[in-house]
Homo-oligomer: A and B are copies of this chain.
Amino acid sequence: MKEGPDIARAAALIGDPARANILTALLSGKALTPSELAREAGVTAQTASSHLAKLESGGLTVTRRQGRHRYVTLASEEVVAVLEILTSLAARNGHLRTRTGPRDPDMRAARVCYNHLAGARAVQLYGHLCASGALTVTQAGITLTDSGAAAMDAFGIDLAALAGKRSPLCRECLDWSERRSHLGGSLGRALLTRMEDLGWLARVPGSRTVTFTPRGQRAFDETFPAARAATEPA
């Protein structure tokens, strides 16, 4: 029985922690690049590449080339269904409290994802921007409203400079530790940079963790208060 029977094949693909993280990240429905997935899964690019090759040859994901990047998505609704049932199964069995995502509490609170803020703080930020009408979320993606643009300008973001860039201004990014969306894209990057410039936060060298200064934390909570009812994760 050393010859892998079909069902075990697919299950074994999901069974590896790194691949499971990749698949979970893809559950957002968004297409993500290999490097983003590597970051989300907490492995290096080489490892992620190897995993992605296996996932694709196993029929769990599909890849489409677009310009310079490769975008990976889940292959079918069946894959989504399996992942969701597995999640619910794990939850029911009490394996929910298992630490998903970074074990470091600080890292869970705030960290860098690609180049924008991630973690609980980032989800709070995203929730506020949606609730205040700065962002509108549609099927097609996220767009910055006029009032949102004004707010960003007031916060010191140079939107004109961002408009010239190739990368999308706003992008939804599934948060690993929070399992909810936060803001990526060039605007997400600009916000992180701006907050750094304001002295609100500092990156921890050699780590993805970001620490807020006490003053920065207060200012952040004041500027982007936690929205009452945020968009649902699942």
Contact = CB atoms under 8 A, between A and B. Distances in A.
The A interface, classified by DSSP as helix, strand, loop or mixed, is helix
A12 B9 contact: no
Interface residues of A, number: 52
A8 interface: yes
A85 interface: yes
Interface in A68-117: 76, 78-79, 81-83, 85-96, 98-103
Interface stretch (A14-22, A147-155, A195-203): A14-22
A124 interface: no
A222 interface: no
Interface in A5-55: 5-21, 23-24, 41-43
Contacts of A7: 14, 20, 23-24, 83, 86-87, 90
Contacts of A168: none
Contacts of A133: none
B11 A20 contact: yes
Q: How many copies does the complex hold?
A: 2
A196 B81 CA distance: 46
A191 to B, nearest CB: 27
Contacts of A102: 1
Contacts of A232: none
A82 B12 CA distance: 13
A148 to B, nearest CB: 33
B41 A90 contact: no
A64 B87 CA distance: 26
A5 B100 contact: yes
A87 B10 CA distance: 9
